[in-house]
Structure 1
Amino acid sequence: MTERVTHETVQSGRGSVVRAGGTRRLAVQVPADSAASLPVGDVVRVVLDGSEHHASVAATADDTPVVRGAYATPRLARQPNGADNELAAWLADAGLEAGRSVHVDVVAAGFKYGLRAPGETATYESTGTPDEGLADIAASLGDGDGA
């Protein structure tokens, strides 16, 4: 049976909705010193309104972690190539514009995070992190859809 945790029982930090890159698309930036700091260079799971997605964590020019999209698989998170960006859809649906804050819940540090609009609540499936050996094998296969 899968254990469930609420946003009240996990560590949380505050992120900001920003305009990122030359395209000026919306992204979520999380201060590196935040309790919810994201691992730059990794693909993590991101939960938006109860749906789990995958996101590649990049860094801004000042090394602040930023998530520019959320996708169906780790491969698409690394190379979206026109895939549906669920983060953009979630931000639009929540009415979150640049300058607004976002709650970043740490479900499993370095592996799974939840994003919530201010005032929203969330319940997450508490999945353990994958065995590092298996994760390394998946990543070496190039697809890495196990992350």
Structure 2
Amino acid sequence: MSDRVPSDSDAVDTHRAHVETVGRTARPRVPVPEAIDLAVGDVIRLSLEGDTYHTQIAEALDGTPDIRGAFANARLARTPNEGEDHLRPWTEAVGLSAGDPVLVDVVTPGFKIGLRRPGERVVYEATDAPSGSLADIARDLDG
């Protein structure tokens, strides 16, 4: 089942982070706030102000989880060198650069989060996470 839920709803848990870059590159990354229960390696849905993609939670140099890409599907999120990354084009299109704040919305815990600029209101499609067995089948088909 899927419902539409606005980012300012009580059903959405919002956290503040800041855009950073990976090493000396201009490639953006967004640290996952500690209060969000995601682990390195998790593949989740990622909304960039309403457009849905997939991302695999990466590991920063200090061992903390972060978001480094936004891809068309889960398989491409697991193999980012094969697909088009939409995170950098999004940050550039909305004028975000290193040091700028970004809001991280938990839409469906452990399954879908959203990124948006402070002051922007987004309406998300809040899709229920698949059951464990369905997620395993999908992972097998993607891999």
TM above 0.5? yes
5+ residue gaps, structure 1:
none
Amino acid at match of 2:99: G
The whole-number CA distance in structure 2 between the counterparts of 1:21 and 1:130 is 35
Amino acid at match of 2:22: A
C-alpha deviation, 1:30, in angstroms: 2.1
The whole-number CA distance in structure 2 between the counterparts of 1:91 and 1:37 is 24
Does residue 69 (structure 1) correspond to residue 69 (structure 2)? The answer is yes
C-alpha deviation, 1:49, in angstroms: 2.5
Give the conservation status (yes or no) of the 8 Å contact 2:3–2:125: yes
Amino acid at match of 2:101: S
Runs of 4+ in 1 over 4 A off after TM superposition: none
The total of aligned residue pairs comes to: 141
CA displacement, residues 34-76 of structure 1 (integer Å, 9 cap, x when unaligned) = 3x35332111100112211000101212222111110001111
C-alpha deviation, 1:3, in angstroms: 1.6
Give the conservation status (yes or no) of the 8 Å contact 1:46–1:115: yes
5+ residue gaps, structure 2:
none
Aligned sequence identity (%):
48
Counterpart in 2 of 1:17?
A: 19
The whole-number CA distance in structure 2 between the counterparts of 1:15 and 1:64 is 13
Counterpart in 2 of 1:48?
A: 48
- The 1:91–1:83 alpha-carbon spacing in structure 2 relative to 1, beyond 3 Å, is same
Greater Cα shift, 19-28 or 88-97:
19-28
